[in-house]
Structure formats: structure tokens, C-alpha cells
Structure 1
């Protein structure tokens, strides 16, 4: 008898809707997860001043995913200010020789860069009385680069700045 009563209570708890609560001014929402930086790296024209401008080469920058932390401070029941922080992102920068320019640089890894992209956004939550709370936001980002290294072969080719 006790087992069937316990089973009934467990089943009722599992199928009942989770209780939802509305956000209020002053609430702080903390979320953690994966954050991805996927650069738009469409660069088919690399200019090298010492060689007279466009050298018929491009660069590609790979994507990177890291741990991220979001903090949202609710201004009222719908509006909030969000701050995104993450562990540092590292990207490989690859040189793509798109033309036979006779420079002999070839394709391959050009450099590696590391950065942090702190972001502040204004967000609007549509329905804060539900367990599912979709939202939209707009924000600003200031990317901080703190480690830029050319690969050994590229240093020998006298590359100096990214």
C-alpha cells in the first residue's frame, strides 16, 4: 500500500506542470553554457602596402566555442540588462593564396589570436509568467585581443602585424 501511494505521488510530481514565476525589478538571472564566436571572414583581397596593394590572397578565421556566463539584471517584469562573459577564445588565421602571384607564400596557418568579447545587451522578455520565456535583445561588444602570434614560418616571411 505504501509503495503504491509513493508511486502515485512520484507520478503526479513528474506529470504536473512546473510552477512558473514572473520576473520582477531587481531580479538577477544567472545562466551558464556554451558561447560560440563564428567570425565572418570573407576576405578575398589582402592588401600589402610594400607590394603595391592587393596581392591576390585572402584569410580565413576559424570558429571557437567556450564556456560562457550570462547575468541579467531585470529593470522591470519584461526589460533587463544582460552581460555576457566567457573564457578566452582562440582562433587560427589561415592564409589562402587565391592567385598565382609569384610571392611564394602559399596556403597555411598564418597566425593564432586570442581574445575576450565582453558584451552588454538590453533584452526584452515576452512572457515572464511561463516556464518558457523567449526574449530578444540588442547589444554592444568590445573585443579585447591580448595574444597575437604568427606561426614560425610566417615570422620568417617577415609578417609583422595582424
Structure 2
């Protein structure tokens, strides 16, 4: 094989699938560290009057360092708590104001607790799972640009600021755990948060947004 790292990867995969894994049994804890990418699938309402018709916004994606803690309630049921650094999402003009560029940004901590069901035997090397979580999105450190001030009729002396509502939402999830040694594993998952919020501007205007982000997470973990 021309590439040594591919040969090493294949060897690791064979060892993981054929070897005995540390059992994921009731009462065991595990921790992981990795990265999560959140990509909002934004559907924006119109900015309330006074504004141009079809004044909408779009929300950018972000990736940050994350991890998680998992506790096995039984051999199949688990509680999972993702943790990590805050995400930073930029807001851009869309539709009638698509050319104005960046309107502002916010930081968010999407705190989620998942209940997961893991398929297969407790000592299986590969265990797919499904989960359902409740997410609380906490928005903070909201910042605005002069583009937002211009769109909303503000001025440099009286710039427009924004505040976003913190919201709850349901988050279904699918994923898998791949045990490549007795205690070390790879965890990958995809989740969809059904989340809405409303931005309230200092100008008295507001705009509702359905964010519904796609969430992809990968992490390497250790089981105790």
C-alpha cells in the first residue's frame, strides 16, 4: 500500500471490529473530546415595520471544540450530556437586503441532554444509537454592524442593537460508537434541533427566525 497512514488505519479498523471491546454496561461512565459543526437551516420572517418588504436574514455556520459525558443507565439506555465552547453565528442580510452583508453576530450555548438507545450487545465493537434530547439555546454577546443600523434607520450616534430570545427545542439524534480498544472509542452523531427564536432590535422592530440547525459531532472518548 502506497500510503502508510492508510495501512495503519485499515489495521486499526480490523482490530476494532474483530477484537473484544470494553462492555458498555449499566453503571459505566465515558467522556469524549472532539468537534461539533452547527449549520442553521434558516427560514426567516420579515422584519417588522417600518422596513423594506421581504427584509429577511440568514444565519451562518460555526464549528467549535466540544466533548461530552455519557452514563449507561442499562446495557442499552444512556444519558448523554454534550459540553463545549460557545458557538459564534453571524447574521447576514437576505432576500430584499441580500447585498448588505453582515448585520451582526451572536454567541450561543446550546445546552442539550439526550436519552439514547444503543443497539447490539454491550460488548459489541460497533454500536449504533438513536437519541432524543431537549435543547436550551442561550444567546449572549450580541453584536451589530453599521449595516444593521443603516437598514433599520439608525445613525452612527444611535446605532441599532439586537437581543435574541433564549429558547427550548427538541433534538432527535442518530449516531454510532466504534470501540477501537478496551476503553477508547470513536463517537460520531448527527442531530437536528427544532429551534425558533426572535431578534428584538433597539429600533423597536423584530424578526422571527426558524433556525432548525443540522448538528454534526465527532469525538474520541475514554470509558471508565
Q: Identify the match of residue 56 of structure 2 among 32, 43, 58.
A: 58
- The whole-number CA distance in structure 1 between the counterparts of 2:56 and 2:147 is 17
Determine the structure 2 residue equivalent to 1:102: none
Greater relative contact order (CA < 8 Å, ≥ 6 in sequence): 2
Name the Cα RMSD after superposition: 2.4
> Post-superposition shift, 1:148?
0.6
TM norm structure 1: 0.77
Determine the structure 2 residue equivalent to 1:89: 87
Instruction: Please list, as runs of the form range in 1=range in 2, the aligned pairs for 1:1-162 lying within 5 A after superposition.
Output: 17-43=18-44, 45-51=45-51, 55-98=53-96, 106-127=99-120, 128-155=122-149, 157-158=153-154, 159-161=160-162, 162=199
Q: Which residues of structure 1 form unaligned runs of 5+? A: 1-12, 100-104
Flag the structure with larger Rg: 1
Matched length: 142
Q: Which residues of structure 2 form unaligned runs of 5+? A: 1-10, 155-159, 163-198, 200-224
1:92–1:113 CA contact under 8 A, matched in 2: yes
Instruction: Compare the two structures and name the one with the higher strand fraction.
Output: 2
- The whole-number CA distance in structure 2 between the counterparts of 1:123 and 1:153 is 44
TM norm structure 2: 0.57
Output one character per residue of 1:115-145: Cα deviation in whole Å (capped at 9) or x when no partner: 1111100001102321111111000100111
